[in-house]
Structure 1
Amino acid sequence: MIAPAVDAALRAHLVALATERRYSPRTIEAYGRDIRQCLTFLAEHLGGPPDAATIAALPARDLRAFLAARRADGAVDATLSRKLSAVRGFVRALSRETGVEMAGVAAVRGPRRKRDLPRPVAPAAAIALTDPDLRADEDRPTWVLVRDAAVLALLYGAGLRISEALGVLRRDAPTVAGATLTVAGKGGRTRAVPVIAPVAEAVCAYLAACPHALAPDAPLFRGEKGGPLNARIVQGAMARLRGALGLPDSATPHALRHSFATHLLARGGDLRAIQELLGHASLSTTQVYTRVDAAGLLAAVEAAHPRARLR
């Protein structure tokens, strides 16, 4: 349902996003899927696979029809915004390549996204999540429990994304308190994060317990059979820990990164410093945590202030 020349242009576009824009593999995969979905829709909508010039001159009504069809299938605002961004970028690339003016796509506006506030875990619960003894009753090897605790300690103690924690190599294992860990984040940006004592201790405990040989250039964290640890395994461990502690479903591995930022801010951390620690390209991304902290303060006032309780 996609013209061969258009498919070739799409492949080149995705390569450019990966090499020039340094988009993550997951983003490239999602964008490719979104664009192909749109091209398939257009082939049905227009009665045949459109060529590059037709796509470059795509009128706004056709793109709106695609988004409306996806909405009817249940796509939420965030998904529709991503699809629009993916398709718009591809149309822009075809417009440059063919010399055909981008007619109507630029006029299409996506849904206004309501940005949800991060849901951090309470400090006591976040600390408990990094204790392997909490899962001592599970029928799993002890070293696996210690491994999961070390990964979660990195998420909460250093503010890492789960992909960043699982991307740490053995030679870079953060085993010394006070040292720094160089992290490769989104967009190929690197940052240095300090290693606090509980994180170093958790990683050292994992290294002492791990039964697999760990080559210096290989991933630090391993699955039970010795291969690189999969993020889904960590997510599953977090789900079991949620049950043990009675935490809500919002307590995911990524929530520990939110907790890292929120708890630093609550204790007087500088917003610019937190931005650097999280690896955010823009301060506006980090500022969402000021809203989380303000919400927590308001909740405390509502719960404790005499005038608030009289309402």
Structure 2
Amino acid sequence: MSLALSPAARDALSGWLASAKALKGASDNTLTAYRADVTDFITFLTLHHAEPNGLAPLARVTTSDMRSWLAHLRGQSIGSRSMARKLSAVKSFYRWLAEREGFEPTAVLSARAPKFQKRLPRPLSEDAAAAMIDTVELQSADSWQGARDAAVITLLYGCGLRISEALGLTGRDLPLGETLRITGKGGKERIVPVLPVARQAVDTYLRLCPYPPEPDAALFRGARGGKLNPRLVQKVTERARMQLGLPATATPHAMRHSFATHLLSAGGDLRTIQELLGHASLSTTQAYTSVDEVQLMRVYEATHPKAR
């Protein structure tokens, strides 16, 4: 249940979101999540104290209030990862609001996020990744749509793109050369190499696509010519992985993980992979080291004389 925000609270939330977009380059999806998380928090406080949600009540939040809110989230069976994300959004909002309104936000900022175990990437094997690309192409009745889906998945695996980055390409990015300039999270730009197989997949799609490329239009089009919805890519990937008998973790994002893991296995260094993936922190990329170590231990246990 979400209550209507007071004009002051609504203005404050809008101001913070505008700041996050301008200063941090937050994506539209991130801003939508931020708005929902903070709105839910303000709604909780309104019901918890049975008073209007103006700025003064927001400034009076206590440690007890924060504990009650976190307990409320746990009571809704919200997982630790989601709780941590919501708390991060609320803290960010309060840092901005406290500086603007001149109050002490310690009660909010000192609240501890629940611990959770970071999930390691679940990459596909090289053969499974190749089979996924081939099988995705067979999921659509129209050959141009099948070629489109195969081209998208090839870019995720061949270039390590996020699905939002692949679907964000426009006619201005054509023709694809040996490298591609990508604008990722936070507006950070990076250069990624484009393999011949990826260029060929895009060229095949363009040759079959009934909609000619336009500089300001999306490169990958939906059935009616608009920008391709990422949910459609997720659906065809789901159908393909079921045909192949792959686990539920074989998602479009898993193709990006597979790109990184296979590079690491082939001798790529973490710094280079960090740049190719567009990770702001090397610690994010280091998750792939653990994945590789798991594979190395499997090989060791299967082949080393002392392990048998």
> TM-score if structure 1 supplies the norm length?
0.94
Instruction: Name the CA distance, whole Å, in 1 between partners of 2:106 and 2:264.
Output: 46
Q: Which residue of 1 aligns with 2:162?
A: 161
Instruction: Name the CA distance, whole Å, in 1 between partners of 2:27 and 2:145.
Output: 28
What is the aligned-residue identity percentage? 48
1:87 aligns with 2:90: yes
State the Cα distance separating 1:113 from its structure 2 match.
Answer: 2.3
The question of whether the paired residues in 2 share the 8 Å contact of 1:182 and 1:190 is answered with yes
Instruction: Name the CA distance, whole Å, in 2 between partners of 1:30 and 1:240.
Output: 28
State the Cα distance separating 1:4 from its structure 2 match.
Answer: 1.6
Q: Which residue of 1 aligns with 2:244?
A: 245
1:1-311 map, 5 Å: 1=3, 2-131=5-134, 135-136=137-138, 138=139, 140-173=141-174, 175-176=176-177, 179-309=178-308
Instruction: Name the CA distance, whole Å, in 2 between partners of 1:127 and 1:10.
Output: 45
Q: Which amino acid aligns with 2:152?
A: V
Instruction: Name the CA distance, whole Å, in 1 between partners of 2:276 and 2:16.
Output: 32
The question of whether the paired residues in 1 share the 8 Å contact of 2:133 and 2:150 is answered with yes
Instruction: Name the CA distance, whole Å, in 2 between partners of 1:214 and 1:202.
Output: 15
State the Cα distance separating 1:303 from its structure 2 match.
Answer: 2.8
Instruction: Name the CA distance, whole Å, in 2 between partners of 1:250 and 1:103.
Output: 39
**1:67-114, Cα deviation, whole Å (9 max, x unpaired):** 111111111011100111111122222211221222411221011121
Instruction: Name the CA distance, whole Å, in 2 between partners of 1:56 and 1:303.
Output: 60
Alignment CA distance shift 1:205-1:110 (3 Å) = same
* Count of residues in Structure 1 that have an aligned counterpart in Structure 2: 305
The question of whether the paired residues in 2 share the 8 Å contact of 1:52 and 1:94 is answered with no
Unaligned runs of 5+ in 2: none
Unaligned runs of 5+ in 1: none
State the Cα distance separating 1:139 from its structure 2 match.
Answer: 5.9
Q: Which amino acid aligns with 1:78?
A: R
State the Cα distance separating 1:216 from its structure 2 match.
Answer: 1.9
Alignment CA distance shift 1:50-1:211 (3 Å) = closer
Alignment CA distance shift 1:91-1:175 (3 Å) = closer
Instruction: Name the CA distance, whole Å, in 2 between partners of 1:60 and 1:219.
Output: 48
The question of whether the paired residues in 1 share the 8 Å contact of 2:221 and 2:228 is answered with yes
Q: Which amino acid aligns with 1:76?
A: G
Q: Which moved more, 1:19-28 or 1:49-58?
A: 49-58
Question: What CA RMSD, in Å, does the superposition of the two structures yield over aligned residues?
Answer: 1.5
**1:10-59, Cα deviation, whole Å (9 max, x unpaired):** 11111111111211111111111011101111111011123313312311
SS at match of 2:116: coil
Alignment CA distance shift 1:86-1:241 (3 Å) = same
Alignment CA distance shift 1:194-1:122 (3 Å) = same
